[in-house]
Amino acid sequence: MDKHETKAKYNLAETCVASISSQTLQELSEDASAQLWDPCQKLNYGSIRGTDQLRSNLASLYSARTISTLSPDSILITPGAIAANMDVFLALVRTGDHVICTYPTYQQLYEAPASLGADVSLWCAQEDKGWQLDIEHLKGLIRPNTRLITINNPNNPTGSILSGPLLQNLVEVASSHDPPIAILSDEVYRPMFHDPSLTPVSPLFPPSILSLNYELTIATAYSMAGIRTGWIASRCPSLISAFANARQYTTISISHHSDRIATFALSPNCIHRLLGRNLSIARTNIALLARFIEQHKWAAEWTKPVAGTTAFVKFRRDGKLVNDVDFCERLMSEAGVLVAPGKECFGDGEKFKGYVRFGYCCETTVLEEGLEKMGEWMRGGFGQVAIEEA
C-alpha cells in the first residue's frame, strides 16, 4: 500500500469505510443546532487524556447492554488504534515474557511484542473451518510466563469473528491462570457486523471484551481514520495508569480539533446514523464482491466475511496457487486496481500463498468500477501471473 496507494485508480486495499466530509458528518447529526467546528478555537493540543465529553461518549457506548457501567476515567484517547496498541505493549511486555496472538491478523499485533523481547506464539485460525479458532489450541500454547493474549475481533484480513461463547471461554482460560493473563482485544472494526445472522440477540454475537466481567481486559479502537483518533479502554485503573505513563513517551495527546470531531461523531445525536451509513455501505459492497467471486469461482475461493471491512480471497490458475505478489503487482500496473498480497502482508513471505486481501468498504462506485476492471484483467492478464512453486 505504501508503494502504490497514491497511484492506484481503484484502491481496493484500503480497510476503512469510505470517508465522509465534515459537511456530511454535520448533516448526520440529529441535532440541527450542533456545531462541528468552532472557528475561534486555536489550533492547539487537546486534553492529555482526552476531553471529558469524548471519554463520556465512549464510556456510554461501552456501557450499553452491560451489567456494570464504564467510567470515563477508564478511557484513554490516543492518536489512532495503532498507537493505542503500541502503548499497551510498551506498558505490559518485557523481555522474556510470553505473548499469544491470533493469526492471521494485523502484523503489529504480533511483531511489536516480539520487537520488545517477548516470545510470541500464534493462535492460528483454522482455514478449513472458516477461519475459526480452537480454544483447546490456545490452552496448549499457554506457558507459566504468558503475560498477554491478543485478539483482533472482527478479524483483519479474514472478516471472521470470535463468537460470544468463544470469548467467554477465552476469559475463563485467562482468568484461571496463575497469575491471571491480560487480554487485549483490537476492536477497530467493531461494530461492523454486517451478516444478517449477527444481531445482538444471536447467541454467536460477539460483545466487546469489556462486557465479560474480567478486570484484565483491554479494548482498543478508533473513531474515523482521517482524524487519527483512537482509544484504550479497560476496567482496571492500574492498567489505564500504566498505559497513560507509556503514552508520555509516544504521543502525549491528540489535537483539539481531532478530539472535537470524534466527540461530535460519537455523540448520541450522530453515532447511530453514522454507523447505519457505514453498515449500509458494507452490506451493499460485500454483495458486489460476493457476486464477483461467484463469477470467477474458476479461479477464486473464500470464506465470506461476516464482519469488518476486509476479505481474504485465494486465487488459483489451472488448479495451482498463483504467486500473490506477482498477481497484485500485475493487477496494479495493468488495470490500476490495488489489493494486498497475502504472503507478503500477513504470511512473512511463506504462509498464505495465493491469498489476496480486499478492502471492500470504499465508495461503492469505486468498488464496482474496480471489480469491472479486474474482471476484464482476469480474462487476459491473469493468464500471465506466475504460479507458486510446489
- Please report the pLDDT score of residue 329 as a whole number: 97
Long-range contacts of 312-315 (CB under 8 A, 24+ apart): 312/104, 312/131, 312/157, 312/158, 312/159, 312/342, 312/352, 312/355, 312/356, 312/357, 313/355, 313/356, 313/357, 313/358, 314/354, 314/355, 314/356, 315/354, 315/355, 315/356
- Please report the pLDDT score of residue 38 as a whole number: 80
Contact 13, 346 (CB under 8 A): no
Q: How many CA atoms lie within 13 A of 197 on its CB side?
A: 6
> What pLDDT, in 10s, does the model give residues 308-341?
999 999 999 999 999 999 999 999 999 999 999 9
CATH assignment of 10-21+273-379, among 3.30.1360.170, 3.40.50.300, 3.30.70.2860, 3.90.1150.10:
3.90.1150.10
Torsion of CA 290, 206, 363, 342, to 10 degrees: -60
> What pLDDT, in 10s, does the model give residues 31-82?
988 888 888 888 888 889 999 999 999 999 999 877 789 999 999 999 999 9
* Every domain of the chain and the residues it spans: 10-21+273-379, 36-266
> What pLDDT, in 10s, does the model give residues 198-230?
999 999 999 999 999 999 999 999 988 888 899
- Please report the pLDDT score of residue 216 as a whole number: 98
- Please report the pLDDT score of residue 146 as a whole number: 98
SS (H, E, C) 201-237: CCCCCCCCHHHCCCCCEEEEEECCHHHCCEEEEECCH
Upstream peptide bond of 191 is cis (omega within 30 degrees of 0): yes
- Please report the pLDDT score of residue 367 as a whole number: 98
- Please report the pLDDT score of residue 339 as a whole number: 98
How does residue 2 score in pLDDT terms, banded at 50, 70 and 90? confident
- Please report the pLDDT score of residue 37 as a whole number: 81
- Please report the pLDDT score of residue 87 as a whole number: 97
Mean pLDDT score across all residues of the chain: 95
Which residues neighbour 371 within 8 Å (Cβ) at sequence distance 6 or greater? 12, 288, 289, 292
- Please report the pLDDT score of residue 214 as a whole number: 96
> What pLDDT, in 10s, does the model give residues 102-112?
999 999 999 99
- Please report the pLDDT score of residue 189 as a whole number: 96
What pTM does this model have? Answer: 0.96
CATH assignment of 36-266, among 3.40.640.10, 3.40.630.30, 3.40.50.12280, 3.40.1440.10:
3.40.640.10
- Please report the pLDDT score of residue 390 as a whole number: 66
> What pLDDT, in 10s, does the model give residues 162-206?
999 999 999 999 999 999 999 999 999 999 999 999 999 999 999
